[in-house]
């Protein structure tokens, strides 16, 4: 969309050129100078409108990039969530299998399990008491 300052600036610039040319043809220094002044005003207004268009265009592009970035970030977050859910489910399955296996071993070898548990407890007690000295 073209800024209205560009349109009015271009019209004022053209009008100033015409007035300046008519002043030159008729020998009117007043019309010639006034025309050149209007031409300069129109050029400045046109440049201002072009700058506004440039800023608007840059803002639109930045908004588009931000939207693309947000869309990508949502996709990455969803992928991470899916990965975490899968890891949690696999971990839960491994823990249940491990618990069943330990339960079977304890049921099959109760005395050996007690000895192993006692040795692990004794070892932990040595580690804890070694840190206090």
Contact 43, 9 (CB under 8 A): yes
State the Cα–Cα distance between residues 108 and 113, nearest whole angstrom.
9
Does residue 2 carry a pLDDT above 60?
yes
Closest-CA residue to 45 (of 106, 4, 74) = 4
Does residue 133 carry a pLDDT above 60?
no
Does residue 87 carry a pLDDT above 90?
yes
pTM comes to 0.49
Q: Tokens for 40, please give them.
A: 């300069």
Three-class secondary structure of residue 22 per DSSP:
helix
Give the pLDDT mean for 42-52.
Answer: 87
């Amino acid at each position: 969309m073209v800024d209205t300052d560009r349109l009015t600036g271009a019209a004022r610039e053209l009008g100033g050129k015409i007035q300046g040319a008519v002043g030159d043809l008729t020998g009117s220094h007043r019309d010639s100078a006034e025309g050149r002044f209007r031409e300069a005003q129109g050029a400045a207004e046109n440049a201002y409108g072009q700058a506004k268009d440039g800023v608007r265009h840059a803002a639109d592009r930045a908004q588009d990039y931000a939207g693309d970035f947000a869309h990508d970030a949502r996709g990455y977050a969803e992928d991470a969530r899916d990965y975490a859910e899968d890891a949690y489910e696999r971990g839960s399955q491994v823990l249940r299998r491990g618990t069943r296996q330990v339960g079977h071993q304890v049921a099959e070898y109760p005395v050996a399990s007690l000895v192993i548990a006692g040795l692990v407890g004794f070892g932990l007690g040595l580690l804890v008491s070694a840190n206090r000295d």
